[in-house]
Structure 1
């Protein structure tokens, strides 16, 4: 490696500032700082440490490690495994001045060493062990602290083995040190900005996921829904990005677009936080604060006792005991079966037959006497209305209330000052209940008016709801039944046909099923019948 070509300091500094500003994320910035410092000095190696921890627990964490002649190029922030242990800034409460990197951080001074093997001030035993293991010879070192705008040391840059024009290892030239110190200053500013940006992003992520968890916790019956949708949506989007032909051939997401989709998926049901608890938590048709089926069971119990008394009095008055006993047993058995039927109807389900709804109405005509001896109907009008709910546990009025959550979701998200790269979050999150034929809600948008990510989220939302294990009104639906329902929804123009086909043919449903479905639900091997 040859030495860097020197240019005007002002021009070099201006170019450096521009190059640093172009680094769009922390991992690329870290790598650029080391690479640029090595280029300027002709160094064979470079290490960038970041300060982690507080007060005397602070330590220097190896983040970027490069040695070109050994083919070593590690960026821990990009996901690479970093095998080196952190360097403590304090040991037993005392500053660690034995290590050159920790000394530079604590003293805020640049340290230039011509040959590590000939100095006594610092402990290079670890360096020597590395050399012995790798057939290397570490010689010249240049170590600089990186300080932020508050003069807090946030990292250390260390360069190894400067080389001359002939490729021979030499000491770091004194005239290059000011340039590296300038790089360290500019790098620290950019690095601090990226750390702040990443910290804000981590805070936003944690806040968003906390909101989703709160939404799920409000109802154990839809628990984990808000946490599964991001996973399932990402699986669908990933499959689309991998397509080389067909409808999704040109679909792709960059890093910012992936994050935008993730935020939308996590926030897709945030409006449910404003939905009344009695609706969110309505596990049975008659459930308000308490389950109303208990009151109906008490009425049947009272009616059974009243009918038993009726027959017993008839027996005492000289009636045919055998005949009356048979009639009583039959009537009481019928009442008990009717009570059990209403209890089953109260649980809800995917579909209630019209004949079962008519039976509920007929049972409402039964009468019993309350404690005051007043004749009462077995079921009141509201109870009949709720027990005849055809799907699930919500009546039309309650469903309208819970459907309002998507309007609230859109209102909340549109009111948030999302930055430019997250501007489509409200559209993605707010479109998952729309239908391709324009008959969905809340805005009645058609397929052409909906983005591909919004359509993906719609399929993810329905599939998760169909296969969820926690819904009290239905058993966990197997894949065969779920795919049949999705196929019918495709045919009725409720869900996007291309997203549905991708979901099945890509096989991502298998990956999701392995993580979240019960074995009894995994009853499909070939999806051809559902296409």
Structure 2
């Protein structure tokens, strides 16, 4: 028998052929519709991914916490087409949720974030008896880590929405759909909650949040929690660094009762001067310091004398020429009294010599050659102690009392000068973050001069940054006006600027900076809060 498969197929029923054609047409249209739907969904997914990527990039680069939190809520609202939303963060003790950002676009409401603090009370996570607060939807999400999707808050059972309803009544608003997403960090801890209100379509109709909204929001919440945690960790490290710096500054000031507060005052003067320069559009139009750069200057001010930790206290506190652990003038007077006993006929001369020695010991006036000659005559007089004849004054006592100006010997000054080099060395060993990397240079160069005659490295004008010059003026001005030094009283403002003017003319400090400090009147603000009444007087116009 012939194979029937080889015979031609003849369709004898036209109605079946028409039915098959209709079926093919239906299938074709269905495939076209499905293709359109798939393409549309793919496009939506692509748009969501692009938005999510853009938002994630913005979150990773934002370092300002209020701005970061606002970006998170704005991003969540954009991804889900939400009209409103709230971002909560857990309190430091983990017992409540604090409002950080609240926004409702249709009401033009924006609170928290970059719009100032929110004063609303926190949401307790636990009731007075210690049980979980399951009535507050945000609290429940924070406690359980669950995503909560509510179709209509007015019809939802088991939750207390009295606060939401009061808000609605006060603002002629209707909260309906709600999506609550926990913010979970890399350690699987809930650090906050993202709450979205009223998903809207193109015609502003309220829709229910769908599974896509949930998944997209969870993805954003994960990245948001990571960004927030990183910012908190960085802030914690910055706070630790500042606490360390403050403790070092206090240790430097506490080392001597006479220089207490010096580093803090220098930091204050330098920072205020830098701010004024940054705000100026005439003398320094091209100089603009960011907040981070001003912070760097402030920290440099706090650290500029860190090397004084190694300077002996008896040098830092040397109020008189003969002071070491104690003021040796009393011992010298005892020797003078011994000389009087040996030579009673010279009693009047001894009185005169004692007054002379007490006067020159203070270091308040310049020691001329004539005064030094008189000192040597007194020193050469003979006394007998324990049967041994010796000079009235030892070589060391004569050396110290012969100091021509002030109370410090060359060796004392070398020790004081050495603190600048040590400050620089100590600061250069610290691993400051990039934004604070210039602290060693700014702090370590405060004794350098534009003339090149400063220390510790003898840098010239071209090698000195503006910040270093600012620090130099701040340090000198504070030292001149300080009224708690053991070797001098605080100078009047007029005297200070006269000295600073001479220093500027000798190219020891920046003349333009000094002139700006004077003309800006910043010194008057400082004087009102830090100087004694007798120090505040009129300052003549600088001639530089």
TM-score by length of 1: 0.87
Answer yes or no: is the 8 Å Cα contact 2:176–2:198 preserved in 1. yes
Q: CA deviation at 1:74?
A: 3.4
Alpha-carbon separation, structure 1, partners of 2:367 and 2:272: 34
Name 1:528's counterpart in structure 2. 541
Alpha-carbon separation, structure 1, partners of 2:127 and 2:370: 80
Residues 251-307 of structure 1: CA deviation (Å, up to 9, x unaligned): 112233233323322221111112233323323322222221221132233334544
Is 1:487 matched up with 2:501? Answer: yes
Answer yes or no: is the 8 Å Cα contact 1:483–1:530 preserved in 2. no
Name 2:23's counterpart in structure 1. none
Alpha-carbon separation, structure 2, partners of 1:286 and 1:357: 15
Name 2:472's counterpart in structure 1. 458
Is 1:41 matched up with 2:80? Answer: yes
Q: CA deviation at 1:240?
A: 0.8
Answer yes or no: is the 8 Å Cα contact 2:182–2:190 preserved in 1. yes
Matches within 5 A, 1:159-174: 159-174=196-211
Alpha-carbon separation, structure 1, partners of 2:161 and 2:329: 78
SS in 1 for 2:154: helix
Alpha-carbon separation, structure 1, partners of 2:516 and 2:59: 41
Name 2:219's counterpart in structure 1. 182
Is 1:302 matched up with 2:338? Answer: yes
CA 1:103–1:437 in structure 2 vs 1: closer, same or farther (change >3 Å)? same
Answer yes or no: is the 8 Å Cα contact 2:86–2:194 preserved in 1. yes
SS in 2 for 1:221: coil
Q: Which runs of 5+ in 2 are unaligned?
A: 1-42
Is 1:398 matched up with 2:398? Answer: no
Name 2:286's counterpart in structure 1. 250
Answer yes or no: is the 8 Å Cα contact 2:256–2:316 preserved in 1. yes
Answer yes or no: is the 8 Å Cα contact 1:350–1:474 preserved in 2. no
Q: CA deviation at 1:358?
A: 4.5
SS in 2 for 1:445: coil
Name 1:320's counterpart in structure 2. none
Alpha-carbon separation, structure 2, partners of 1:149 and 1:126: 32
Matches within 5 A, 1:254-269: 254-269=290-305
SS in 1 for 2:111: strand
Alpha-carbon separation, structure 1, partners of 2:357 and 2:303: 38
Q: CA deviation at 1:416?
A: 2.3
Alpha-carbon separation, structure 1, partners of 2:60 and 2:521: 41
Is 1:507 matched up with 2:521? Answer: yes
Name 2:96's counterpart in structure 1. 59
Residues 80-110 of structure 1: CA deviation (Å, up to 9, x unaligned): 3321222222233322222222211111112
SS in 2 for 1:382: helix
Name 1:346's counterpart in structure 2. 361
TM-score by length of 2: 0.85
Answer yes or no: is the 8 Å Cα contact 2:133–2:140 preserved in 1. yes
Residues 463-516 of structure 1: CA deviation (Å, up to 9, x unaligned): 011111221111111111111111110001000111111111111112212221
Name 2:37's counterpart in structure 1. none
Name 1:231's counterpart in structure 2. 268
Answer yes or no: is the 8 Å Cα contact 1:505–1:527 preserved in 2. no
Name 1:434's counterpart in structure 2. 448
Residues 307-333 of structure 1: CA deviation (Å, up to 9, x unaligned): 4xx35xxxxxxxxxxxxxxx85xx1xx
1:290 pairs with one of 326, 329, 334 = 326
Larger radius of gyration: 2
SS in 1 for 2:181: strand
Q: CA deviation at 1:448?
A: 1.1
Name 2:530's counterpart in structure 1. 516
CA 1:519–1:122 in structure 2 vs 1: closer, same or farther (change >3 Å)? farther
Name 1:316's counterpart in structure 2. none
CA 1:491–1:161 in structure 2 vs 1: closer, same or farther (change >3 Å)? same
Residues 210-240 of structure 1: CA deviation (Å, up to 9, x unaligned): 1111111111111111111221111111111
Answer yes or no: is the 8 Å Cα contact 2:135–2:160 preserved in 1. yes
Is 1:94 matched up with 2:131? Answer: yes
Alpha-carbon separation, structure 1, partners of 2:371 and 2:71: 71
Is 1:474 matched up with 2:511? Answer: no
2:69 pairs with one of 9, 30, 55 = 30
Is 1:201 matched up with 2:238? Answer: yes
Name 2:256's counterpart in structure 1. 219
Alpha-carbon separation, structure 2, partners of 1:194 and 1:462: 38
CA 1:165–1:484 in structure 2 vs 1: closer, same or farther (change >3 Å)? same
Q: CA deviation at 1:404?
A: 0.8
Is 1:273 matched up with 2:309? Answer: yes
Is 1:127 matched up with 2:142? Answer: no
Alpha-carbon separation, structure 2, partners of 1:449 and 1:400: 24
Answer yes or no: is the 8 Å Cα contact 2:199–2:207 preserved in 1. yes
Matches within 5 A, 1:364-403: 364-370=379-385, 372-403=386-417
What is the CA RMSD across the aligned residues, in angstroms?
2.5
Q: CA deviation at 1:39?
A: 1.8
SS in 1 for 2:488: coil
Aligned residues: 500
Answer yes or no: is the 8 Å Cα contact 2:448–2:454 preserved in 1. yes
Alpha-carbon separation, structure 2, partners of 1:88 and 1:112: 21
Residues 24-81 of structure 1: CA deviation (Å, up to 9, x unaligned): 3323222211111122223333322222233xx63222222333444443336x6933
Alpha-carbon separation, structure 1, partners of 2:86 and 2:356: 73
SS in 2 for 1:38: helix
Alpha-carbon separation, structure 2, partners of 1:231 and 1:349: 29
Q: CA deviation at 1:154?
A: 1.4
SS in 2 for 1:528: coil
CA 1:354–1:236 in structure 2 vs 1: closer, same or farther (change >3 Å)? farther
